[in-house]
Amino acid sequence: MRKYLLLMLIIMFFSISSNATSTLIFAGDDYEVQVVVSDTTPEQIVTVNFGGPDQTGLISIMPGDFAKLSIDCEKQKLILVFNNPGDSKLPPSFKLRAIKDRAYIKIGGSKIKLKGDWIR
């Protein structure tokens, strides 16, 4: 019984830790971009949640929908390029670039400063 219980605890521990993620948040001027990152090495973007002034909540964008994804959590650098394929359910095309806590998003002809949070 004890061996079975110990085995179950070990399996649960590794199952939970292998699926661990962190969320990086960039926000400002009615925009919010949440980047969900795996806690694996190297880091991988799991999903991106986008909110803008014309939306009533966050829209999830999968990594395969981005023209460019680049992340380095150690150096705190991020580049996201999203080109909307004409889907009104998705946000407009945008480019987000972040270095440490400074970030900006280019969207709809505007360049907007965002504040970044790299808490992991």
Q: Give the pLDDT mean for 2-9.
A: 49
Residue 5 included in any domain: no
Mean pLDDT over each residue of the chain, to the nearest integer: 84
Residue 2 included in any domain: no
| CB burial readout 98-118, b (16+ within 10 A) else e | beeeebbbebeeeebebebeb
Percent of the chain at pLDDT above 70? 82
Structural domain boundaries enclosing 83: 21-117
28 pLDDT more than 80 = yes
Report residue 38 as tokens. 């795996």
Confirm if 103 and 117 have CB atoms less than 8 A apart: no
Residue 16 included in any domain: no
The rounded distance, in Å, linking the Cα atoms of 101 and 25 is 10
**Confidence label for 42 from pLDDT (cuts 50, 70 and 90):** confident
Could you tell me the sign of the dihedral formed by the alpha carbons of 108, 93, 34, 111, in that order?
negative
104 pLDDT more than 90 = yes
In single-letter form, the type of residue at position 79 comes to I
Residue 14 included in any domain: no
Residue 4 included in any domain: no
Residue 4: C-alpha distances to residues 10, 14, 86 (Å): 10, 16, 54
Q: Give the pLDDT mean for 40-48.
A: 87
Residue 6 included in any domain: no
What is the pLDDT at residue 118? 82
* Structural domains counted in the chain: 1
The pTM (predicted TM-score) of the whole model is 0.79
